[in-house]
Amino acid sequence: MTIYSIHPSRGKVQILATYRTVDGMTSSTVTSVVETGLAAPIVNALNRISAFATVPVSVWDRRSGEYRHYPTNHLEVLGDRDKRLQLLEGSHSLWYELVMIFLDGALVDLEKAVSQVPPPVRTAVDAELAAEAQALRAELAEYNEGASPSESVNRRLWEREDPLVGIEDDLGLFDEDTRKSLDKVEESLKGDKLQRVIDDLRILLQVYLECNEESARLEVEDLSIFVDPDFGEKYYLTVEAPLPSEASRHDWKIEIGRWEPYGPEDEDGNGSYSGNPLLACVQSAPPVVRELVDLLDLVGHQPGQLAIWSKTPVGGRLAGTNFIVTDSEQSEVLLPGNVGDDIDAVEAHGSEYSVTAVRDDLPANGDEGRSMSWPKFDALFASCSCGREGCDECAGFQLTPRTAARLWVALNFLADQAYDDVEEHGDEPVRDPRDWSLFDEYPRITFRQDAVWRRQAARCFDDLSRDLEAARWPSPRCAGEEMALHLALDFAPDAVDEGGSLAEWIDRLPAHPGDLDWDACVDGLFQDTDILTLFNDSHDGLEDPGDPTNRRLGIGDYRPASWFTTFDNQEPRDSRRPFRR
């Protein structure tokens, strides 16, 4: 509601408060100090306090689909130091509690700033905070309860959805998109789960605010910190907090990866890169803030530190830290026995087994020994077959364990074929189908796409496969994924050789009356099947949203350049996710 600034005057530096009144914009003097160096941190903290206190009461809480107010309890804290601990004790919502963390940090910084000035300055600053809170409470009372405010000339006005605040919002904290994203994360979180995520968010934010690594970036919506000291050229590090809404995010994880080049360079000699995870440190207990801060600071202080850490074996500590490596691409583990003659290594990891395939009949056309996973589909897609009248699960589409397993095999196999095509043919157009493993089965309008496009198409199979591994239905989020899923469903009935190891693995999963109903998968997993019209040569041009028939039927944009653009009603995938190869 108020913007604070500095104004030199007669040998001193005034701290001014600027706000709207009934007569327009007004500036009043809060206090004066002897030099700018003392005034600047006070002004900076006051502006942040004004923003973090005002914005939450100036926007609507839409989580329930209704227009609700965010809490106003934090206004009491501005004039009462003894109540400031309550800022870090609430659990209203992810976005609101995130703002409260920043409000608490701004109040702490103000305390540090006023400790450097004479007591009268501190008293004046405290009085300003109290006046700001009182004015805002009066305005809210008029807006929410119809109470008549003071008609003082210096009455500070407030406008919902348009508060007067001055702050640089590098994190997009006040953006509506950020609120919506956090609300989306929160949808499946209730009670203790919500409280745990808020507590973890506080840890992440404290680490981010205290660390000195300039490349560290807080990814608020993903509850993670991303560190890229070489700006997309070498190694990166990610710190992820648990996220109960994601099946694979139950623990804290520190991951180190390397940027790998793919695709041709542009005319300026710049190439494209994808992230390749190298190792991870996973722990269920929340990490100590100081240890995480020291970890990130080491990245900045020691050139090449990530490269050194990337060679750490499983069981070893990242040098200079207490974090132990629990997973590494270079590690080998022993077979616990009785898993099958096709496997030479397996280790339990939560809901899946990490497996190394060494036989040709496994779903891998790549090099022998490629690392892959066999998820526990009986746990990930437990299905109901009670048949009782009124059972919601039995009445609707169910992705059964055996169906999910066979579809997963098909997706992985076709992904390998797609990557094989990219490596063998690059940018070559599709001419003779006998020369291609997969892309000759795509619609003719894609036959002249380049290697970059085809790699993205190959990753679509992996994205859908990872959905299955995370207990999510593989519902396509873009046209490329639609095509991948259609091809996988077509191939799935023949994806497993009867009597082979994969067939035995799938047969050990619980049977269900709805097993291998591929037509039901089409009905249950797709929004529509418009993309299949691209196989009809008589419909040339239908892929263009400007085509009259396309407009009449509301088909949308199926031109190849748009195949990897997320549908408007779907959440985009992580843009940093790696390519398999």
In SS3 terms, 367-416 reads as: CCCCEEEEECHHHHCCCCCCCCCCCHHHHCCCCCHHHHHHHHHHHHHHHH
Q: Mean pLDDT score of the chain, rounded to an integer?
A: 82
Residue closest to 487 by CA, chosen among 521, 527, 452, 451:
521
The tens digit of pLDDT for each residue in 380-415 reads 788 888 777 777 777 788 999 999 999 999 999 999
pTM recorded for the entire structure: 0.51
The CA–CA distances, whole Å, from 190 to 17, 91, 94, 245 equal: 41, 10, 11, 11
Q: Which residue has the tokens 């036989």?
A: 359
In SS3 terms, 291-357 reads as: HHHHHHHHHHHCCCHHHHHCCCCCCCECCCCCCECCEECCCCCCCCCCCCCCEEEEEEECCEEEEEE
Residue closest to 160 by CA, chosen among 20, 21, 50, 58:
58
In the DSSP assignment, the letter for residue 88 is G
512 vs 517: CA distance, rounded Å = 10
Return the pLDDT at 183. 85
Pairing mode of beta strands 327-328, 216-219: unpaired
435 vs 421: CA distance, rounded Å = 9
Return the pLDDT at 354. 34
Residue closest to 358 by CA, chosen among 378, 323, 384, 332:
332
Q: Cβ(229)–Cβ(299) under 8 Å?
A: yes
Return the pLDDT at 384. 83
Return the pLDDT at 481. 97
Q: Count Cβ atoms below 10 Å from residue 344 Cβ, excluding itself.
A: 16
Q: Which residue has the tokens 């009085």?
A: 127
322 vs 319: CA distance, rounded Å = 8
Low-confidence ranges of the chain (pLDDT < 70): 146-153, 161-166, 170-171, 231-233, 245, 247-248, 262-272, 330-374
Q: Which residue has the tokens 């390397």?
A: 258
Backbone φ/ψ region at 235: left (φ over 0), alpha (ψ -120 to 50), beta: beta
554 vs 526: CA distance, rounded Å = 16
95 vs 221: CA distance, rounded Å = 10
Q: Which residue has the tokens 């990130």?
A: 296
